[in-house]
Structure 1
Amino acid sequence: INEKQALITGLAFSKNRLQLFPAGMYTNLFSTTLKIGMASSWSEKWSTTIVALPKIASDYENISGKDFYLGGFAVLKFQKKENLIYRFGAYGSQEAFGFFTTPIIGWYYLSPNQRFEMDMSLPIAADISYKLGAVSVGADYIGIGRSFNLTSNDMPDWYVDLSSLEFATYAQVGVLDKSVLLRSKVGYSSNNYEVYPQGEKIDLGVSAFSFGDDRTQLNPNLGGGIFLKFEAIYRFRLPNKKEIIETPTN
């Protein structure tokens, strides 16, 4: 937009196909998230990022307003050194199970030789990598909860509460002057898809804690497993800043 502000846009789509019940039919769970926000630089030391994350998440059988959820995050950054940035903020999202929020505390660090990189936004995500020529290798972690509305005529009024923890190692290469990262990942996911009746909610979800959770789970717990994933990550750099804003799509 100008020398001190950059528009952030993106679109993320995911599909999961699984059995929610041991003897049940397979169910498709879709999620489409629009990312739109603003990155602003206020001084040599301070900057902010504010992003809205509206999404439609359900089996996409009979889409209605119940499938629409609104979330977002806001982060304040302090550039301690040329290669070290601290960040503080919060993430929040209205889900089928109620409102979920978590603080964000982290940092971005790039070693003087520009080989070792850390991008931490705890407790949501962590990414550590090392550059070996044109290829970088690393490990990352992503952990966040979300929900899907079940709208099929064959289903009662239910929703799915997904608790997800993903740990992975990866190899990546940068293209288009390193503005796009192509990443191949293999890892373990502890995805747990819990089915609940519509209308049963918690009072509040904060990070890994749920307050006022009197819901009755309708299906057995599902085990995790190994996954293989390919990602394209778009990197937006603020003018005259070392900081990088990343928008992943799966």
Structure 2
Amino acid sequence: MYYQTVSVLETHFMKTISLFFFLLFALQHMFAQNYVDVAKVSYSSTQINYQGQSASSRMNAFDAMFLSPLQIAPSAHLLLGGDFNLRSLELNNNATDHTFYNAMLRLGVSKVFNPKWNGYIAALPKFASDYDSNFGSSLMLGGLAMLKRVRSENLTWKVGLYGSQEAYGFFGTPILGIFYRTPDEKLTIDASLPLWADANYALNNKKTTSVGLDFIAIRRSFFMGRDNADQRYVENNEISFTPYFQYAALESKLLLRLKAGYSATDFGLYSANDNKMTAISAININDDRTRLNQDIKGGLQVKIEATIRLGVKR
């Protein structure tokens, strides 16, 4: 069964601004390379399959983000932005469509310590639920910190920590990454694992067309229903591998991508009163929860994406 998507703005997750956690996914485009993505909008449709059934359905998704770095000192910027994501799907085959929203504020500071070292830290509070009379009770806090070592004009190493409060407990992960660009600037690799990675190769000298492959891993949760004894939540896990074709317009300030690949997508339904657990990257600790819906598996994903990218000085 196919269902419809609604619109509004995007993404992510949070617990406290504990020990260097979370800013990475939004702010890493600040000093790892000589550009910053100030806005991104995407729409995707993913086939989903239900365990034990031959029938399939679709998950429709809308994601948007914006980021505005404001200079507050010669070597420091205030990082202000926001994300919104929407996911619409059937939690069980031939059941009612459910739509979940994640609205997040990005607020942080980036600092260049010297020509070799720079970094940032940020708070990322979010409201994540189906927004059914539960917006105020769906607040979750989180944060991230990133430290970067510039080895050369074309190579930067990254290390960080990310953490967030979730409906099921706490999620955290260390982050290791790299930014590398070949001297001819045709091949670019930008990775912050285990969260995401992107490889892009220009097909012409003007770099107006290119092909690439990206990897995105998402782990978050949404409260569902009113804030009472019967409240439930869904744990959303997505791992996507999507080759893409990119066209760069307006002197490479506007990037248009058409993507098609595979996305492993799951939405587990649980009672909000069930046992809590801790998740470190892909590992669950003390997970004693009882799942209330059938397992969901992913399939082919098709996505269109537009990015506004501005150049910055190193």
- Deviation for aligned residue 1:58: 0.9
Structure 1, unaligned stretches of length 5 or more?
242-250
Distance between the aligned counterparts of 1:175 and 1:36, measured in 2? 30
**Aligned amino acid, residue 229 of structure 1:** K
Write out aligned runs for 1:14-163 (5 A): 14-133=85-204, 134-151=208-225, 156-163=230-237
Cα offset, 1:151, TM superposition: 1.7
Q: 1:60 is aligned with what amino acid? A: Y
Q: For the structure 1 residues 101 and 238, does the alpha-carbon distance in structure 2 shift closer, same or farther, using more than 3 Å as the test? A: farther
Residues 192-223 of structure 1 deviation map (CA, whole Å, 9 limit, x = unaligned): 00000013244311001010110000101012
- Which residue in the other structure is 1:5 paired with? 76
Residue in 1 that maps onto 2:290: 216
Q: Percent identity?
A: 37
Larger relative contact order (CA 8 Å, sep ≥ 6):
2
Give TM-score scaled by structure 1 length.
0.88
Secondary structure at 2:252's aligned position in 1? Answer: coil
Kindly report the root-mean-square deviation, in angstroms, between the aligned alpha carbons of the 2 structures: 2.0
Q: CA deviation at 1:175?
A: 4.2
Distance change in 2, residues 1:101/1:78 (3 Å): same
**2: CA distance between counterparts of 1:156 and 1:149?**
11
Q: Could you tell me whether the CA contact under 8 Å between 1:139 and 1:170 is conserved in 2? A: yes
TM-superposed CA distance for 1:163, in Å, is 1.2
Measured against aligned partners, the alpha-carbon deviations of 1:162-209 in whole angstroms (never above 9, x if no partner) come to 111111011223345434433222221111000000132443110010
- Cα distance in structure 2, aligned partners of 1:65 and 1:237: 38
Deviates more, 1:130-139 or 1:79-88: 130-139
Gaps of 5+ in 2: 1-70
CA 1:90 to 1:234, structure 2 compared with 1: closer, same or farther past 3 Å?
Answer: farther
Which residue is 1:245 aligned to?
none
Check the 8 A contact 2:107/2:122 in 1, yes or no: yes
